[in-house]
Amino acid sequence: MKFAMPFFSGATAQPVPGMAQRSRMMEYDQPLVWVVVLLMLFGMVMVYSASISLPDSRKYANYTNHHFLARQATFISVSMVAALFAFRVRIETWQKLAPYLFVGVLILLVLVLVPGLGKGVNGAKRWLSFKVFNLQPSELMKLVVVLYAADYTVRKQEYMHKLTKGFLPMMGAVAFVGLLLLLEPDLGALGVIVCIAMGILFLGGINGVWFGGIAATLVGIFTMVIMLSPWRRERIFAYLNPWEEANALGKAYQLSHSLIAFGRGEWFGVGLGGSVEKLHYLPEAHTDFLLAVIGEELGFVGVLVVVAMFYWIVKRAFEIGRHAIAVDQTFAGLTAKGIGIWIGVQAFINMGVNLGLLPTKGLTLPLMSYGGSGVLINCVGLAILLRIDYENRVLMRGGRV
């Protein structure tokens, strides 16, 4: 069933003379919108379930049982309003703004490290406090690097097979971002950003030999960073053997309790609200380990539904990107695929950490975990994806954007 969108189409679609009225009333991608909205609402319910007992602890003693639910509902509402505004912006405008946005977010990443400006939580300084909310610039950078890498690839298309003019400038920019993130530290965000940049460059036609060599070099750098950091090294060793008593009570505490949660859930879960691990056993149950609570309360079936929905979003993003390239909108196509890489990689890492497939990292589950910056930027990114699809439909029907 299709619905028209006169609110959007009237301001952007300018069909050529003789086209039917229907061409000016372009429909939006309803399934994509519904999947995103359902994931956010499902996440809000699970955030409430995972956080309802937190006021029993000393750390959250002044909070009400529905504190995190109310804030997450506010975050979602604000994010959807921001997404509507983002949808109104033409893709051509996003391309023009990409370099300036990149520089602006770089400045924010520097400000995070300035004493007195950056806010630290659990030993990491990743936030800028604005009284009403805390902004995490690394979340902004995930979206901005999609736009910047896509714009860079289009501008440097003729040099993409050359190392010095094509590949190294982009890698230099990513390396500077990486340095700032390592100083916070935020290795998880760095991993996502590197995957986004490398993925877009690969899709943009970078020389395969150089790509393989740089990818191998990056793996070596990540390995060196881990081995030279005692606490990261200890976390890796604990991940390899989480059930050893010292690890289960130490560095692998979160992982061991996450696995217990999945084990308790079995096929269909213990029922919504029935989790035991969220009762102060599993730290950060409402943020990084929300999937473990889903696994315990809704079982394998609940986890499978979440995985399927994220898979569908990533698949749809690549389809939209392919359609954009087919109508000669290369920047839009690379941006759409970059958004798919971003959502897919971050969801995969979070799920892998929860399931014990990857070492523990502080990455949230997109659209679902508690947090204002994450949900806001996810919604803006997906609104840009919807805009790309909208412009594809206009162009394919002979209109202009």
The number of folded domains in the chain is 1
Question: Do the domain assignments include residue 171?
Answer: yes
> Which pLDDT score, from 0 to 100, does residue 235 have?
81
Higher-pLDDT residue of 337, 124: 337
Question: Do the domain assignments include residue 23?
Answer: no
Question: Do the domain assignments include residue 18?
Answer: no
Average pLDDT over residues 312-339: 96
Q: Which residues contact 73 (CB under 8 A, 6 or more apart)?
A: 44
Does residue 30 carry a pLDDT above 70? yes
> Which pLDDT score, from 0 to 100, does residue 38 have?
97
Question: Do the domain assignments include residue 95?
Answer: yes
> Which pLDDT score, from 0 to 100, does residue 163 have?
75
Domain range for 391: 40-51+65-397
Question: Do the domain assignments include residue 9?
Answer: no
- The verdict on pTM exceeding 0.75 is yes
Question: Do the domain assignments include residue 301?
Answer: yes
> Which pLDDT score, from 0 to 100, does residue 123 have?
64
Question: Do the domain assignments include residue 19?
Answer: no
For a pLDDT cut of 70, what percent of the chain falls above it?
A: 93
Each residue's pLDDT tens digit, 208-226:
777 787 788 888 887 887 7
Does residue 78 carry a pLDDT above 90? yes
Question: Do the domain assignments include residue 31?
Answer: no
